[in-house]
């Protein structure tokens, strides 16, 4: 049986990703700006993260663990979380 050869074409969604990974959390995504952190209520064991879609809060164990973070690609949760954080910032 012959094996199919892939051409390397990828599906384009029109979304540009500027972070190291499309689904994981890397340390360069952590928010370190003290003025932002002072306005947002972040639990002690969590971190405030920003990507192309906005802000969200994750457990610190998720940063640089090499695994996909389900919070990053769940659009309904992301919209709600980002709206709550933006309300705290204004």
Query: What string of H, E and C letters represents the secondary structure of 20-45?
Result: CCCCCECHHHECCCHHHHHHCCCCCC
Tell whether the model's pLDDT for residue 67 goes beyond 70: yes
pLDDT tens track for 35-47: 999 999 999 999 9
CB-count exposure of residue 47 (10 Å: 0-12, 13-18, 19+): buried
pTM to 2 decimal places: 0.74
| 3-state class (DSSP) for residue 46 | strand
Q: Per-domain residue ranges for the chain?
A: 20-73
């Amino acid at each position: 049986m012959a094996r199919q050869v892939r051409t390397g074409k990828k599906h384009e969604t029109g979304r540009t990703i500027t972070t190291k990974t499309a689904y994981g959390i890397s340390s360069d995504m952590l928010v370190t700006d003290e003025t932002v952190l002072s306005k947002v209520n972040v639990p002690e064991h969590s971190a405030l993260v920003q990507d192309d879609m906005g802000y969200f809060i994750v457990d610190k164990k998720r940063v640089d663990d090499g695994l996909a973070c389900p919070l990053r690609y769940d659009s309904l949760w992301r919209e709600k979380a980002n709206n709550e954080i933006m309300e705290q910032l204004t």
